[in-house]
Structure 1
Amino acid sequence: MTSFAPRERAAISALSASAIREIANGGMGRTDIDAFWFGESDIPTPRFIVDAATRSLEACETFYSQNLGIPALREAIAAYGNGLRGGTIEPARIGVTGSGVSALMLAAQLVLSPGDRAVVVTPIWPNIAEIPKILGAEVIRFPLVVREGSWSLDVDRLIETLDESVTLLVFNAPNNPTGFTLDAQSQKALLTHCRRLGIWVLSDEVYERLVYTGARVAPGMSDHAEPEDRLILVNSFSKAWLMTGWRVGWLTLPAALAPALEKIIEYNTSCVPVFVQKAALAALTDPEGEAAVTGIVEAFGRSRALLMEGFARLGRIEAPDADGAMYSFFRVAGHDDDMALAKTLLGTAGLGLAPGRAFGPEGKGWLRWCFAARPEKIARGLDRLEGFLARE
């Protein structure tokens, strides 16, 4: 009798495990650590959002909803985006998803087949670069570089890379982990080129509200798009509304793809819980909503400034400029092994940071610090880092 050992398929076994989790698992549960490893604030969801979910639960709204989301939320998302950018996106082009990462997976399922090529601008949140591999696609990494103290993208060289063999361009701006934002002119050039060659563009814009230039929103691909462009936008309630644990996001895509999205949501998660959608609806429509986002961005900006000032004071730290997101991607002179440094900082200084290699080979030697934290926690973290450097 032949016996077959249980094994996952090769594409799954080849996926990279999360290096962030490797560090976090070594420190979670300890009370002597200041942790900045996850892309999550230590500030809870605003009360008015929680109250909306509570009212929904008290009304026993615990049944299935539409695959693409309740109509009121889809309409609110379209109105929010159009008000933010002056667009004319219809609710029919919106699909509510069970988190931003689910939206990324759904988008990839819509357009990628085994053997397709996806160009991904890196370093990037590992989930984004690994998702095409799950579907059997090939990932070509295109790295950002540091020029004159800031993160930079060589747009001309990227356009040269995007030839007829490429199915999908993926980028995330403002970027996790670097905070890099892509300017409007570059976005227009990339979209124009991809339109000409029929290349799909998947733009992860979950950090669009987290910019520190005084702008209300970061430049977005939809600013230059036609309704039927091969453009899919990913967004989420996680960051700007402090709703990481709620797991709710959305996709904006060509209307022709909406029926297909409806089908694959059914086969993935069926729908997002109604009480979660009611919380998301409150985030967009409650009179407190926009003021809450403004306050969150201002708070993150203060913590960002405190962290940057601390880095400058400590010396030995290279922290390139970036205008968005909620991270500093930095490196410490004399430490080329980011994983070893992250483990040492955790073990000897009680400082929890994400190792750069978690975001791809371009991140080796770097560390990511999430500054979406209260100033007193940032100050304690800097004290821990200063103490570590003084002992070397």
Structure 2
Amino acid sequence: MIRVSKLADSVKPSATLAAGAKARELKAKGIKVFDFSLGEPDFNTPKHICDAANEAMAKGETHYTPAGGTAELKKAIAKWYGKTYGFECGSEHVLVSNGAKHSIHNVLAATVGPGDEVVIPSPYWVSYSDLVSMTGATPVLVHTRIEKGFKMSPEQLQAAITPQTRMLMLNSPSNPTGAVYSRAELEALVDVVLKHPDVTILSDEIYEQLCYGTAKPTCVVTLRPELRDRTVTISGASKSYAMTGWRIGWAVAPAHLVKAMDNVQSQETSCPSSVSQAAMVVALESPESPKCVAAMLKEFAARRDVVCKLLTAIPGVKLFEPEGAFYAFFDVSSYFGKAFGDKKVTDSMTFCTTLLEQAHVNLVPGAAFGAEGFVRMSFATSKDEIEGGLAKLKDWLANAT
């Protein structure tokens, strides 16, 4: 038998992908499943972006590109940050990768290793801690509370930093909570970081164009001049442009770090898809794109309102009202210890597995995000699905004994 490495044996499968796989198994048996597990927009990629991909293929742009991305796309990304946030950077500060997850891996692989610590506010996206652990570094989780808006305070951050700390990972708007840090809240956090010369900030801003009401995105690197040399900004195509399968993400960072990450990526995967890169240039530069993003955001906001209305009407459920992204993160711990038929729910995992088996509603356990007692629901699906699924959830909870 081939022996599995310690690294592979220590890595947990993605909880969101695992939940999606279970739902597909039931669907394959002809069972109607209300699947709220995956963080993927249900919209098709806008037509003008698809047309750009077809044009690129017709022109023969189907070959290897430079490992870190085409000059055209890197220039378009740098230009977008200048136009959107007033952050002026050049192509030498941009690395294009196979999705934002790959970008995060590149950053960690190029900056941290055994003996280092990475501070992560919890709840956190399921992959953060495992991506850190894969480098040999140690994730240091800082637990936040629903009463505090799931936001880490400067005092909590200061207490978590040790001589071994090398990085702070931030995510606003947040997956799974939908929390959006205000500019002032982020300024308070970065001022703590600036007191510690060896600490870098990795700011995952993949949901930046999906904010609701008065919530506004903040590009962290723009908060203080000193942050240009201390911050890596992560974003990508997946969420705002409904381009999950195109696998395009990027990191914006100091030039020397981009070069190091480029070396890592060149050995791991070579280059991102040439066709996807050509389409991404159009996604960033076409005047049609902001209209498409605005239309999707409007629909997400309407779905969010439906979700909040229906969840707050369910007894025993405590909801954090999301300010960004497309997730509802809610406390179901009042149902722990109760029986549903012949099954007893004891934690978020048994809650979700029993709910899927009995009511065919698929949620992701909060334990996967570092927040036992909670579950995550993606509302990147139709209003009919949302209303039908939450009606099933409410009925199922009413049968608890």
> What is the alpha-carbon distance in structure 2 between the residues aligned to residue 331 and residue 185 of structure 1?
28
**Which digits, 9 at most, give the CA deviation of each residue in 1:274-307, with x for residues without a partner?**
1100111111112210111111111111000000
Note the C-alpha offset of 1:50.
Answer: 1.4
Structure 2, unmatched stretches of 5+, are 337-345
> What is the alpha-carbon distance in structure 2 between the residues aligned to residue 71 and residue 289 of structure 1?
21
Q: How does 1:194-273 map onto structure 2 within 5 Å?
A: 194-198=193-197, 199-214=199-214, 217-226=216-225, 228-273=228-273
> What is the alpha-carbon distance in structure 2 between the residues aligned to residue 367 and residue 207 of structure 1?
20
**Letter of the structure 2 residue corresponding to residue 378 of structure 1:** I
Note the C-alpha offset of 1:268.
Answer: 1.6
Change (3 A) 1:90 1:293: same
**Letter of the structure 1 residue corresponding to residue 161 of structure 2:** L
> What is the alpha-carbon distance in structure 2 between the residues aligned to residue 378 and residue 26 of structure 1?
19
The alignment of Structure 1 onto Structure 2 pairs a total of residues equal to 384
Which residue matches 2:335?
A: 334
**Letter of the structure 2 residue corresponding to residue 385 of structure 1:** L
Which residue matches 1:25?
A: 21
SS at match of 1:128: helix
> What is the alpha-carbon distance in structure 1 between the residues aligned to residue 349 and residue 162 of structure 2?
35
SS at match of 2:4: coil
Which residue matches 1:378?
A: 386
Which residue matches 2:364?
A: 354
**Letter of the structure 1 residue corresponding to residue 378 of structure 2:** C
Q: Is the 8 A contact 2:15 2:126 kept in 1?
A: no
Which residue matches 1:11?
A: 7
Which residue matches 1:166?
A: 165
**Letter of the structure 1 residue corresponding to residue 90 of structure 2:** E
Note the C-alpha offset of 1:35.
Answer: 0.5
Which residue matches 1:278?
A: 278
Moved more, 263-272 or 206-215: 206-215
SS at match of 2:170: strand
Which residue matches 2:310?
A: 310
> What is the alpha-carbon distance in structure 2 between the residues aligned to residue 9 and residue 28 of structure 1?
29
SS at match of 1:152: coil
Q: TM-score, normalised by structure 2?
A: 0.91
Q: Is the 8 A contact 2:115 2:138 kept in 1?
A: yes
**Which digits, 9 at most, give the CA deviation of each residue in 1:112-136, with x for residues without a partner?**
1222111111111121111111111
Which residue matches 1:323?
A: 323
Aligned CA RMSD, in angstroms, stands at 1.8
Moved more, 91-100 or 227-236: 227-236
Which residue matches 1:124?
A: 124
Structure 1, unmatched stretches of 5+, are none
**Letter of the structure 2 residue corresponding to residue 28 of structure 1:** R
Note the C-alpha offset of 1:98.
Answer: 0.8
**Which digits, 9 at most, give the CA deviation of each residue in 1:357-388, with x for residues without a partner?**
1112xx21211000122212211111211221
> What is the alpha-carbon distance in structure 2 between the residues aligned to residue 241 and residue 83 of structure 1?
18
Q: Is the 8 A contact 2:95 2:251 kept in 1?
A: yes
SS at match of 1:24: helix
Which residue matches 2:343?
A: none
Q: Is the 8 A contact 1:228 1:255 kept in 2?
A: no
Which residue matches 2:58?
A: 58
Which residue matches 2:339?
A: none
Q: TM-score, normalised by structure 1?
A: 0.93
SS at match of 1:314: coil
